[in-house]
Amino acid sequence: MSCPDPARLSPRAGSTICGQKSPATAWLRQSFRLHVSRVRIRIGGWRASVNWRVSIGSILIAILTSTQAFPEPALQPQTAPQGDSRPAVDLELVIAVDISYSVQPDDLAAQREGYAKAIVSEEFLRALRTGPVGKIALTYFEWSSTRDQDVIVPWRQIDGPEAAEAVAAEIMKAPIRRGSRTSISGAIKFAMPLFEQNPYRGARRIIDVAGDGPNNNGDPVATARDTAVQQGIVITGLPVMINATPPGQVDISHIDHIDWYYEDCVIGGPGSFVVPITDRENFKEAIRTKLALEVAGRTPDQSPPPSVDKKPRVLCTIGEKLWQQRWDTIAPATNSPAMSKPAANSSSSKEDALLDKKIKGICRGC
């Protein structure tokens, strides 16, 4: 390989090319003839103490040509993207629990206790230890209408029994309450930005939705589900199927095959699944099993595949339709034909309070 002509090189070139001094070297030495008797230099981790006479020009040449002082950009440590410096966990888990009026008070208490006991169970802790990191991040909130979500436990890291006990205590500490309407879509939309606020970084993200009725408030549930799945979030379901309709009441809060509704309209993403609760005796067991599966990254036997691309067996807007039909029963029964019909996506607390007062004894809250 032939050597380039040093005269054609810019003054920023190296001090020697193929053994010849470049114009940069000569220019620096001519321009800086000042000599000093002692020079102390510290560049990065390199420090030199020079006791002999040396020209400043020579020092500058050494600095400019030192690969240690100014390494090539490609060799510098890569700065991690924002967020990547967060502590790693195996899973980011958002638990979203329905507290609408369709859920009976005893069942609300059973839900709380079920999640608290599941988190400290040996089955859960065993699943925790199977992960590469052995830790998860968890947050727990309760929801009803599209405007009603309450974070009971903010993001917490669980890395063993002690942390699990602390989270379980937080779940049980908050007072139990109920809310009007059922907005699964609102719960999903509320959950999605929680992942961006999480101080921990997980390899997987799951929204665990528990509820006993179809969406009847806010955006269509399938739309919210699809948005979450597009963001790489998996949605799993815990459909509660233990509330029978009392005789003589119109039930727009519950539908037949709520498990099908969850499978076809709510869950989504790779490895999504449902664990139905069919009787109160297996309430806590179902919650424990579901959480352990999620933490371990497994699915139950014969779990149905994600249903985004197949025709739903249950109309995904059935809750909204039942909500509209509700007024056909309310108006004659209350002698209020002039009552305005609220939209299915309405969540005004005044409307809900008026509605609950009008329909008392006619149909169950939702």
* pLDDT one-digit tens code per residue, 296-331: 999 997 655 555 556 778 899 998 998 888 766 655
Q: Does residue 95 belong to any structural domain of this protein?
A: yes
Q: Does residue 334 belong to any structural domain of this protein?
A: no
Would you tell me how many other CB atoms lie within 10 Å of the CB of residue 197?
9
Would you tell me how many other CB atoms lie within 10 Å of the CB of residue 274?
22
Would you tell me how many other CB atoms lie within 10 Å of the CB of residue 23?
14
Q: Does residue 219 belong to any structural domain of this protein?
A: yes
Distance of CA 43 to the CA centre of its chain: 44
Q: What's the domain range around 53?
A: 7-70
Q: Specify the number of domains making up the chain.
A: 2
Residue 303 is part of a domain; what is its CATH number?
Answer: 3.40.50.410
Q: Are residues 41 and 174 in the same domain?
A: no
Q: Are residues 43 and 154 in the same domain?
A: no
Alpha helices by DSSP H, 45-175: 56-65, 105-119, 122-129, 161-173
Q: Are residues 200 and 252 in the same domain?
A: yes
Q: Are residues 44 and 132 in the same domain?
A: no
Q: Does residue 114 belong to any structural domain of this protein?
A: yes
Q: Are residues 156 and 22 in the same domain?
A: no
Residue-wise pLDDT for 31-89, tens only, equals 444 444 444 444 444 444 444 444 444 544 444 444 443 333 332 333 334 546 899 99
Helix %, strand %, coil % of the chain (to 5)? 40, 20, 45
Q: Are residues 185 and 43 in the same domain?
A: no
Q: Does residue 194 belong to any structural domain of this protein?
A: yes
Residue-wise pLDDT for 163-193, tens only, equals 999 999 999 999 999 999 999 999 999 999 9
Would you tell me how many other CB atoms lie within 10 Å of the CB of residue 327?
17
Q: Are residues 102 and 56 in the same domain?
A: no
For the chain, how far is it from start to end, CA to CA, in angstroms? 83
Q: Does residue 205 belong to any structural domain of this protein?
A: yes
